[in-house]
Amino acid sequence: MVLVDQSQQLLDDLAVEFASSGIPAHAICVDLACRDAGQRVENRLSELGVYCDVLVNSAGIALLGTAAQLDREEQLRLLDINARALTDLTVRVLPGMVARRHGGVLNVGSICGYAPGPNMAAYYASKAYVRSFTAAVAAEVAGTGVTVTCLSPGIVRTDLFKRGNVGQTRVLKLMPRASAPATANAGWRAFRAGKTLVVPGLTNRMILALRFLLPGALTLRLLSILQRPL
């Protein structure tokens, strides 16, 4: 298990936890927003003498506020982490997987990727990219023995929505929150089954069904109201 994060303390704690379970773990401390992050990860894998059999792209950040009000650099950083780094790491490891005819990529998207999101425009757009990119790459590697899956959960109890005021909206207060372990398990089962997309939870699937039934203009209006900061 190779763990990648910008927090050395978190990596050290996880490595100890894995080691106590008899799972060898290595830590790579890197900020995925940096342009050379992918190369640094690749270099470290080479130093360890290992290759990536399964890549899980779960890093992500969110911002609440209008595009005009939010800091420009922070919005670009969001795209660097949520979309560019995910793409960089995927295209670095994918050729080896195809050559070995084994392995795959599990990308963590969101049901937010199915609609534009006023007051969280960059975040919603980044998840739409993840969904589209995953589906296209999955079609490209079909028949090669490589699996590419997009996990699209709703609100999950993680630190993502604890940072800043991201969790202070009506929609986030109203929607049920799933546990991280259960969500991860659903994604892993779908990946092992060779599925391209998984939306865990009946409530989330009902929300998506409603999204496709409602006119786009009405969806935008509702999200504009529900995602105003409280």
Indicate which residues carry an active-site annotation. 123
- Hey, what's the torsion of the CAs at 184, 186, 187, 192, to 10 degrees? 120
Token pair for residue 1? 């298990």
107, 85 Cβ separation under 8 angstroms: no
> At residue 53, what is the residue type?
D
- Please state, in angstroms and rounded to a whole number, the distance separating the CA atoms of residues 142 and 172: 36
Q: Identify the CA nearest to 17 among candidates 28, 29, 7, 27.
A: 27
Spacing of C-alpha 160 from chain mean position: 11
